[in-house]
Structure 1
Amino acid sequence: MTSRPYVLLSCASSLDGYLDDATDRRLVLSNDADWDRVDEVRASCDAILVGANTIRRDNPRLLVRSAARRRRRVAEGRPESPVKVTITASGDLDPSAAFFATGEQLVYAPDGTATPGETVPMGERVDLAAVLADLAGRGVARLMVEGGTGTHTAFLTAGLADELHLAIAPFFVGDSDAPRFVHDGRFPWHAEHRATLVEIRAIGNVALHRYLLSQSEVDRHWLRAAIELSTRCPPSETAFAVGAIVVDAHGDELARGWSRESGGTEHAEEAALAKLDPADPRLAGATIYSSLEPCGRRASRPRTCTELILAAGIPRVVFALREPPTFVDGRGAELLAAGGVEVVELPDLAPAVREVNRELL
Structure 2
Amino acid sequence: MRYLIIGAGAVGGTIGGRLAQSGHDVVLVARGKQYEALRDHGLRLQTPDGPHTHRLPVVDGPEALGTLRADDVLILAVKTQDSTAALAAWGPRPVAGGGTAAQHLPLVCAQNGVESERIALRTFRRVYAMCVWLPSTFVEPGVVRAEGTPLSGILHLGRYPEGSDDTVRAIAEDLGQSHFDAPVVDDVMRWKYAKLVANMVNSIEAVSGVIDGDEGRALLRQARAEGEAVLAAAGIPYTSQQEEQKVRGGRIRFEPFDDVPRGGGSSWQSLNRGTGSIEADYLNGEIALLGRLHGVPTPINDVLQEYANEAARQRRPAGATPVGELTAAIAAHR
Q: TM-score, normalised by structure 2?
A: 0.28
Query: Greater helix percent: which structure?
Result: 2
Structure with greater Cα Rg: 1
